[in-house]
Amino acid sequence: MAPPQMLADFPHEVLLDVLAKADTARLKAFAEPLIAQLDTIGVLENRTGLVMLPIQDTAQGTNFHLGEVLVSEARITASGQEGYGMRRGRDLEAAMAMALVDVAVAAGVAHADCATFIASEQQAQQAADHERLRRVEATRVDMETF
Amino acid sequence: MAYVATRGGERAIEQSQRLYREEMGAITPERVNELRQAMPYLIDRVMGEASLYDEDLAALALAQTGGELYEATLLLRAWRTTQPRLAVADPVTQDGLFTHRRISAAFKDIPGGQVLGPTLDYAHRILATEVLSGETHVPDPVTPAARPSPAHQPSVAAWQAENDLLTAAKPDQTTGNDIPDVTREPLLFPAKRAHTLQSLARAETGGVLALGYAAQRGYGQAHPTVNELRLAEAEIKVKHPRGTTFSAGRVKLSQAEVVNKKGTQLELGFAATMGWNEVKVIAAATLDVNSEGAAKGSATEEEFFLYHTEGVESSGFCIHFKLPHYVTFQSSLDAMRDAKAKKVAKDKAPEPAE
């Protein structure tokens, strides 16, 4: 199936999901030229921090904390819009790059390029998951008991 | 506990740290990167016990401590305190897990089937000594299946509840900062279930194994069967300032359900931890299923196992015995000498008849 090439094809949730998992080098390379196309950029936050991750216990249904995950966060304004990035790991530039793409999409800047980039990254992520799951499937047990 | 202030050790302390680090040599980005890539299960163990998920930091902690696991965990827990908590993610549920390994020892035909995933369970334990003779050991590649395994599966417990084998868990509606948190509240007994499971998630693997194994060997009340063991990746679901919920990435986690027959129903124990560490979650779930009604002071009583499997506290207490205890020990010696002197005096004292 051909990837969608219009930003309207990507709900905000999917767009953010894809950007948060996008290849770091490609994301930075794509986001940098957006700076010149956006009006004055204000940085509200660009920091590392922790996200606590809870999980639900299947025995009694209790939600409890597993531990904290290191993330990088960026929150910016540009062209009258707010952009946000949060990615796992301690790469402030990558979080900023995600926020730049988010704000560009919100401000209607470089829409076609953004759509192409997001479609391409989504395809790469889906392909990686597909390949991994083919390997997992190879370990399926066809069990026979005696 | 009484300590004595001493001085005169500054130079020795400085040189002792140098001596420790000198043997390891320079810590380079390449070394950290190599550790991260070559030791994923060790990295996972350290991240789980530190309650801090970041492979790079865990690899750095291992490089900096020469693989001294208690020190590495302590370094990470200390570093964690320098960071603000930005959010609490949405609770992970089993049907949202990207599953790499899912097996059951209780039921052969669980819905979705059994996939072994990455494991050495059935491997021949043979050292590849040819590497020490200069050869390179290249593992055989996986032959991928034509179709992918389903990424998402419900828990085996959910299927059992549908089949009236156990009472379905009532999902907790507590979220965010309302979920009890042992990193911000004291652990009191009887412990909240959220505290118990969080403490087991960050417990020291060896400690959990020792006590879980004791329960499995018969010092517990329940002999568990592994209902489901799963290695997976969980999405970190956070909120955009405009309200959109999205995943900021995935983290590896392990979870185990163990089951025990209790009357006409099955009783479940559960444990999960960050990273892939299946021995820990099976042992921890064993302790969970055994804890109800356990005798005071037994290995399966929650106060006993939660206090004694907290690795940073227990290792810290153990090594504190190396600190100068001259005052307390001198006091013991004085009491011993005094008792000896009194005994000698008593032995020498003339009998009243003399």
What digits encode the pLDDT tens for the residues B235-255? 999 999 999 999 999 999 999
Q: Which of A18, A48, A53 to mutate to test the interface with B (most CBs of B within 10 A)?
A: A53
Is any Cβ of chain A less than 8 angstroms from the Cβ of B28? no
Q: How confident is the model at residue A3 (pLDDT cuts 50, 70, 90)?
A: very low
- For A83, A121, B147, the CA distances from A22, given in Å and listed in that order, are 16, 6, 25
Q: Looking at residue A5, what is its pLDDT?
A: 61
CA-wise closest residue to B204 among B321, B51, B41: B51
* B145, B201, B245 ranked by CB distance to A134: nearest: B145
Compute the distance between CA of residue B64 and CA of residue B72 in angstroms, rounded to an integer: 8
Average pLDDT of B311-324? 91
Compute the distance between CA of residue B327 and CA of residue B331 in angstroms, rounded to an integer: 6
Q: Looking at residue B9, what is its pLDDT?
A: 85
pLDDT in tens, A23-47: 999 999 999 999 999 999 999 999 9
Rounded to 10 deg, the angle between the B69-80 and B311-320 helix axes is 120
- The mean pLDDT of chain B is 93
Contacts for B194 with CB less than 8 Å, ≥ 6 apart: A62, A63, A64, A65, B174, B179, B180, B181
Across the interface, do B54 and A70 touch by the CB < 8 Å criterion? yes
Percent of chain B at pLDDT above 90?
A: 76
**Contact list, B171 vs chain A (CB under 8 Å):** 56, 61
Instruction: With a cut of 80, say whether residue B346 has pLDDT above it.
Output: yes
- Regarding predicted confidence, which is higher, B324 or B151? B151
Instruction: With a cut of 90, say whether residue B221 has pLDDT above it.
Output: no
Average pLDDT of B32-40? 98
* A52, A54, A138 ranked by CB distance to B85: nearest: A52
Sign of CA dihedral A11, A17, A18, A20: positive
Neighbours of A76 (CB within 10 A): 22
Residue with tokens 């008792």: B339
- Regarding predicted confidence, which is higher, B184 or B164? B184
Instruction: With a cut of 90, say whether residue B351 has pLDDT above it.
Output: no
Tokens of A62: 């209790």
Beta-carbon contacts below 8 Å between A and B: 252
Percent of chain B at pLDDT above 70?
A: 97
B5 min Cα distance to partner chain A (Å)? 38
pTM of this prediction? 0.93
**Contact list, A21 vs chain B (CB under 8 Å):** 247, 249-250
pLDDT in tens, A69-120: 999 999 999 989 999 999 999 999 999 999 999 999 999 999 999 999 999 9
Tokens of A94: 């990558």
Q: Looking at residue B3, what is its pLDDT?
A: 62
Across the interface, do B86 and A59 touch by the CB < 8 Å criterion? no
B273 min Cα distance to partner chain A (Å)? 6
- Regarding predicted confidence, which is higher, A133 or B320? A133
Average pLDDT of B180-195? 96
Residue with tokens 């390891």: B24
